[in-house]
Structure 1
Amino acid sequence: MSKNTTKARPGERAKAKAKQIAERIPRPKKKVTWPQARAFSVHLLTASGSFLAFVSLVAASEERWTAMFWWLGLALLVDGIDGPVARKLEVKEILPTWSGELLDNIIDYVTYVMIPAFALYQRGFMGEGLSFLSAAIIVVSSAIYYADTGMKTKENFFKGFPVVWNMVVFTLFVIEPGQWTSFAIVVIAGILTFVPMNFIHPVRVVRLRSINLGMTLLWCAFGALALAQSAMAQFYNQIGVLGEQVGIFTKVGITVTGLYLFFIGGVMQLFPKLGAKKA
């Protein structure tokens, strides 16, 4: 060995080794673009529904029903706006490997199905047996429904009851129709999950869109009023659960608008020209 040859110092050997490892790591072919970052932010908006579901579940476990429904209401708001935003920003085309639809379905099953079913069981106003059976009907029928790839018609109606149990359970909490009536409503809705009866999507169904959307907003307004009345009752230390603190006007409003939203799809199915624009 030549006298001029010197051994590499430990620090230099470490740097050389790190350089070799770094060269083996595949680098991205191109940088993330602004449209991609903007599109991914829509997925983050959708994913925020999972956190809202978590805090609503915490509230339900502590039997804070008003808080639970407020969180579910916020989750419903997020679910209502993320779809139109995603379509406007062409998220599906910009990020084809990320499924916003799958993400949305996962969160919807939790917020529309699991938490309402848990709340119905936890509240127990149908008795322990019927409450447990109702929760079982809700989660099983809904799981099967979400597996149906043909749940939408060409007009964007839902084919079968679209498992919006958050709205159904909220209505039961507010109007308190009695245990057997409540159980019958759950059974009927569960059966209608598999019946080819149309149910509206208030935004995506074109026919009667303005009326349907208006009734949806009215239902939401009555719901917010019911929660506000319950919150005020709790603030003044009044004893009772959600339904006992809600005024008759609010109960009638929720019932009427809810029945409209439940049945208008079937009515429009029977009268296919109802609300259609004349050529």
Structure 2
Amino acid sequence: MSTMICKVLGYGLTDLQHGDDRMNWESPLLDFTAAPTFTEFADHPATVKGREFSWLEPAECVRRMGDAHPHRSLDSCVVHNAESGSESVLVLVPPSRANDWSRSDDTFDYLEAHFGDEPDMEPVVRELRTGITPFDGLWMDRETGAELHKFGMFRRLLQSGDPSPERLLAAARSIAVLPNFDADETLGELAAGTITGKPVTDTEPLFHDADVAEDRLVRLVPAEVRELASFGHLFTDPDTWKSLVPVHYTYWS
């Protein structure tokens, strides 16, 4: 019988089926006997640094974790426990957050699970509609995966309960893709007034319909999570990461 309680925060799928064809079940990230290490992930040429929320970039955090524990594998960042957890749940933890976003065999968690007459040992996954700090204020377009900005008024109007259709549409039309001032952009591109191939002066609204905007505005999946999935060839369709949602997952192992 499983006796160790485990809790994890991350970005997950909660509707997996047995043999789900969205998954590459041969991914090394799912081979818990030979999963890649933190160091291998940090050395991966395409590893995305992402946003800097602390004095260290995520990639540097991962490298330091790998230096401290050279043989530590990434299996703790990919949670799919069909035997003692839920077969329908897959959770990806940003490697730089592996020490903070997962824990097991915690005394407080164990006691809380045993507060009732019988221990509560069923796996439970909850979608976190508030997001996960420090990414809770970041949003993206579900269809393209692009990070968005200028969405504050639209969200406030939605939360107000009964906004006028005109104001809601105007707010939806103001939502825009966050310009990507990437260090790899050439001076020529910047001088030409373009950023990642799109004119800076382009004012064409991203959304022309408030309902579409509401459906496509979702919590941002951090670049580090996207790169982890790509690094391990975890999904058969590279766009599957757009379906990941922030979750809190409890299971027993």
TM-score normalised to structure 1 length? 0.25
TM-score normalised to structure 2 length? 0.27
Which has more strand, going by share of residues?
2
Which has more helix, going by share of residues?
1
Q: Which has the higher contact order (CA 8 A, sep 6+)?
A: 2
Q: State the structure with more CA Rg.
A: 1
